[in-house]
């Protein structure tokens, strides 16, 4: 039973929107490129890091909304392998905010039955951050609800490089044969193994690009771009994206027309 009252109060436009959504039209996995923190701060004459600080509310709200919608997975892009190019102070603040977030939000994750799963080259993060991440993973490991993946020191290409390295090492060791490598094998060896591919990819701040995020996994994701800057992103914006997604017709290269079934049945 979805916790709709806590997601959108009865009588509000968001609740009406939610009540009209058929459960089967909801995405299973939503991925978000959280963008626009710097511009949000600049608009207010504040240092960029204040935008990151303000963005934490939007993270908290999105995780809670995804849990209440009973999505299977939510993946948030928090730090890309390219973000190391930023000023040292900004990188340090982002890491400090992450630690603060984990310390504060762990209880809420447990209460909401959320399983936490960081994805990315975690071994290159500061040991202290690695410890906080490992602790959050451990504390939430028995939870059975939303899988909350946070992409940290992540990029789709780096993930692919790591996969090819693992595959070639396994081939050399004789544990995998070339013919064993198919799409299922690849999906099972990516950082996101075990969760369905994102059905819906949201990017805030009006930028129209994917910036090296989940390149394999978004092959057939529906894309939703919003001009809202990440610190201003609310449950209402998430619901609007989900409602937009629910109206899409997904074809996966096939044909969806009355009388035309897609795939093998069409030939029979
Ligand atoms: C997104 O906001 C946060 C991260 C990439 C960590 P930005 O910091 O990219 O904000 P803009 O794009 O400069 O406004
Ligand atoms: C993408 O945002 C990365 C994250 C949200 C973590 P960026 O702000 O780094 O992307 P570009 O540089 O505008 O493509
Ligand atoms: Mg940006």
pLDDT tens readout for residues 164-192? 999 999 999 999 999 999 999 999 999 99
Taking the C-alpha atoms of residue 158 and residue 205, their distance in angstroms, rounded to an integer, is 25
Q: How many CB atoms lie within 10 A of CB 147?
A: 22
**What pLDDT is attached to residue 7?**
86
Confidence of residue 260 (pLDDT cuts 50, 70, 90): low
Considering only 41-45, 101-105, 120-124, 255-259, which range has the smallest mean pLDDT? 255-259
Give the model's pLDDT for residue 21: 87
Q: Which pLDDT value is given to residue 165?
A: 96
Whether the per-residue pLDDT at 266 is higher than 70: the answer is no
The span from the CA of 196 to the CA of 181, in Å, is 19
Interval 152-157 mean pLDDT: 98
- The first and second tokens of residue 155, run together, are 């990029």
Burial 82-94 (b: 16+ CB within 10 A, else e): ebeeeeeebeebb
pLDDT at 265 over 60: no
CATH classification for the domain delimited by 2-249, as one of 1.10.287.110, 3.40.1410.10, 3.30.160.270, 3.40.1180.10: 3.40.1180.10
Ligand 1 proximity of 39 Cβ (cutoff 6 Å): yes
How far apart are the C-alpha atoms of 77 and 75, rounded to whole Å? 7
Asked if residue 91 has its Cβ within 6 Å of ligand 2, the reply is no
Is 268 a residue whose pLDDT tops 70?
A: no
Strand runs (DSSP E) across the chain, as ranges? 29-33, 73-80, 115-119, 147-154, 200-203, 222-225
Q: What is the pLDDT of residue 264?
A: 55
pLDDT at 75 over 60: yes
How many percent of the chain have pLDDT more than 90?
Answer: 87
Specify the ligand 1 atom closest to the Cα of 48. 8
Task: List all residues 6 or more positions away from 143 whose beta carbon is below 8 Å from its beta carbon.
Answer: 109, 110, 113, 114, 115
Task: Identify the sign of the CA torsion 212, 217, 218, 220.
Answer: positive
Ligand 2 mean position to 40 CA, how many Å?
14
Instruction: Kindly state if the Cβ of 207 falls inside 6 Å of ligand 2.
Output: yes
Question: Rounded to whole angstroms, how far apart are CA atoms 126 and 200?
Answer: 31
Q: Is the Cβ atom of 245 under 6 angstroms away from ligand 2?
A: no
2 — pLDDT class (breaks 50, 70, 90): confident
Q: What is the pLDDT of residues 119-154, one digit of tens each?
A: 999 999 999 999 999 999 999 999 999 999 999 999
Tell me which residue has its CA closest to atom 12 in ligand 1. 36
Q: At what angle do helices 48-68 and 235-246 cross, to 10 degrees?
A: 60
Let me know if 35 is a catalytic residue: yes
For Cα atoms 242, 245, 250, give the angle at the middle one, nearest 5 degrees. Answer: 150
Q: Which atom number of ligand 2 is nearest to the Cα of residue 209?
A: 14
| Residue 99 reports pLDDT greater than 70 | yes
pLDDT, tens digit, 9 for 90 and up, residues 12-35: 888 888 888 888 999 999 999 999
* Residue boundaries of the structural domains of the chain: 2-249
On the question of pLDDT at 197 being above 60, the answer is yes
Looking at per-residue pLDDT, the higher value among 8 and 70 belongs to 70
- Given 5, 83, 113, 180, the catalytic residue: 83
The reply to whether 143 belongs to the active site is no
Average pLDDT, the chain: 94
Please tell me the predicted confidence (pLDDT) of residue 247.
Answer: 95
Quick one: CA dihedral 95, 98, 100, 102, positive or negative? negative
Residue 20 tokens read as 């009209």
In whole angstroms, what is the distance from residue 106 CA to residue 171 CA?
Answer: 40
Residue 63 to residue 76: CA distance in whole angstroms? 9
In the three-class reduction of DSSP (H, G, I as helix; E, B as strand; rest coil), residue 30 is classed as strand
Question: Is it the case that residue 261 has pLDDT exceeding 70?
Answer: no
In the block, residue with structure tokens 């290269």: 253
- CA–centroid distance, 19 to ligand 2, in Å, is 34
122 alpha carbon – ligand 2 mean position (Å): 18
Centre a 10 Å sphere on the Cβ of residue 221 and count the other Cβ atoms it contains. 21
Give the distance (Å) from ligand 2 centre to CA of residue 214: 13
């Amino acid at each position: 039973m979805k916790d709709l009252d806590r997601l959108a109060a009865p009588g509000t436009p968001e609740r009406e929107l939610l009540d009209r959504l058929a459960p089967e039209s909801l995405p299973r996995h939503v991925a978000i490129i959280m963008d626009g923190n710097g511009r949000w701060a600049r608009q207010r004459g504040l240092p960029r890091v204040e935008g990151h600080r303000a963005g934490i509310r939007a993270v908290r709200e999105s995780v809670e909304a995804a849990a209440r919608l009973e999505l299977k997975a939510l993946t948030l892009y928090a730090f890309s392998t390219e973000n190391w190019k930023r000023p040292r102070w900004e990188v340090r603040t982002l890491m400090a905010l992450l630690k603060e977030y984990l310390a504060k939000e762990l209880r809420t994750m447990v209460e909401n039955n959320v399983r936490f799963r960081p994805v990315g080259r975690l071994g290159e993060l500061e040991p202290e951050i690695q410890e906080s991440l490992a602790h959050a993973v451990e504390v939430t490991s028995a939870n059975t609800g939303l899988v909350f993946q946070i992409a940290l020191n992540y990029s789709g290409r780096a993930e692919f490089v790591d996969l090819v390295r693992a595959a070639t090492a396994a081939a050399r060791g004789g544990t995998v044969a070339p013919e064993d490598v198919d799409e299922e094998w690849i999906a099972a060896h990516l950082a996101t193994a075990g969760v369905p591919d994102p059905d819906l990819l949201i990017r805030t701040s009006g930028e129209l690009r994917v910036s090296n995020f989940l390149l394999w996994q978004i092959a057939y994701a529906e894309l939703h771009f919003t001009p809202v800057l990440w610190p201003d992103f609310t449950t209402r914006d998430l619901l609007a994206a989900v409602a937009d997604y629910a109206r899409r017709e997904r074809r996966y290269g096939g044909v969806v027309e009355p009388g035309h079934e897609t795939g093998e049945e069409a030939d029979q």
